[in-house]
């Protein structure tokens, strides 16, 4: 079972990263962008959930939480550009509960790591647990604001879609290129080389947040979704 999960995780990760970079490169709101976006969402969900399962089997708690976090971010990003409906609102409440659970787990593991002799848990420093707890808490707080406020404007919905999709891709890209450097040929095992795709995702994220945040791209985009 564990070998199947690892194989699924590897295949999903490959599909997620390739489709993710494809989505970043394509013109937005085109039919191809939408189709490849579906591949990305499904691949990321498979990546996150299979990664969480493998991490649970191996007792690697940060990877467990981050697998769930990736799945949550992608699911809520996908919902952000869907029409408002009762099923969407109900699902958003469920996902908010998941986000709060992820925050609670990360804070608990961070405290465990902080009080350990070496300041680590499962090989990761307490700072990493606190960082992802902060990201999860920020996303959850935005969920609360959205649900209390009755929804999102077109611009807010697109911004939500962008940052959550891109941050999930950033996590997957960093985990592969930086966390699995041993898989690359020796001549490529340099931070200056392996960090390029990771930084590229961040650059694209900042570019689209700037463009949508200060422009009218959101309204044109949302009419075509």
Domain that holds residue 88: 2-224
- Amino acid 55: pLDDT: 95
- Amino acid 1: pLDDT: 55
8 A C-beta contact, residue 221 and residue 158: yes
Distance CA 48, CA 44 (A): 6
Q: Residue 88: which H helix or E strand, with range?
A: helix 86-114
Please give the tally of structural domains in the chain.
Answer: 1
Tokens at residue 132, please?
A: 């992802």
Local structure of 26: helix, strand or coil: coil
- Amino acid 218: pLDDT: 52
* Residues 6+ away with beta carbon under 8 Å from 132: 62, 65, 66, 69, 106
- Amino acid 223: pLDDT: 45
Sole residue written with tokens 């606190």: 130
- Amino acid 217: pLDDT: 54
- Amino acid 154: pLDDT: 84
CB atoms under 10 Å from CB of 43, counted, come to 22
pLDDT tens-place values along the chain, 225 residues long: 558 888 999 999 999 999 999 999 988 888 899 999 999 999 999 999 999 999 999 999 999 999 999 999 999 999 998 888 889 999 999 999 999 999 999 999 999 999 999 999 999 999 999 999 999 999 999 999 999 988 888 888 999 999 999 999 999 999 999 888 887 888 788 888 999 999 999 999 999 999 888 765 554 554 444
The DSSP call for residue 150 is T
């Amino acid at each position: 079972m564990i070998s199947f999960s690892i194989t699924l995780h590897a295949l999903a990760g490959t599909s997620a990263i390739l489709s993710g970079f494809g989505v970043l490169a394509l013109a937005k709101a085109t039919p191809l962008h939408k189709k490849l976006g579906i591949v990305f969402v499904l691949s990321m969900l498979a990546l996150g959930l299979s990664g969480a399962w493998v991490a649970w089997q191996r007792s690697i708690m940060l990877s467990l939480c981050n697998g769930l976090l990736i799945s949550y971010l992608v699911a809520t990003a996908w919902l952000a550009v869907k029409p408002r409906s009762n099923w969407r609102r109900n699902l958003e409440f469920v996902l908010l509960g998941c986000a709060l659970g992820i925050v609670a787990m990360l804070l608990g593991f961070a405290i465990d790591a902080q009080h350990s002799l070496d300041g680590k848990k499962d090989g990761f420093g307490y700072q990493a647990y606190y960082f992802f707890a902060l990201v999860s808490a920020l996303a959850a707080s935005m969920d609360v604001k959205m649900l209390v406020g009755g929804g999102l404007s077109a611009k807010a919905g697109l911004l939500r879609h962008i940052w959550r999709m891109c941050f999930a891709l950033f996590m997957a890209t960093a985990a592969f290129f930086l966390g699995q450097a041993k898989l690359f040929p020796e001549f490529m095992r340099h931070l200056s080389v392996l960090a390029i795709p990771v930084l590229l995702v961040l650059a694209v994220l900042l570019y689209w947040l700037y463009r949508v945040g200060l422009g009218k791209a959101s309204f044109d985009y949302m009419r075509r979704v």
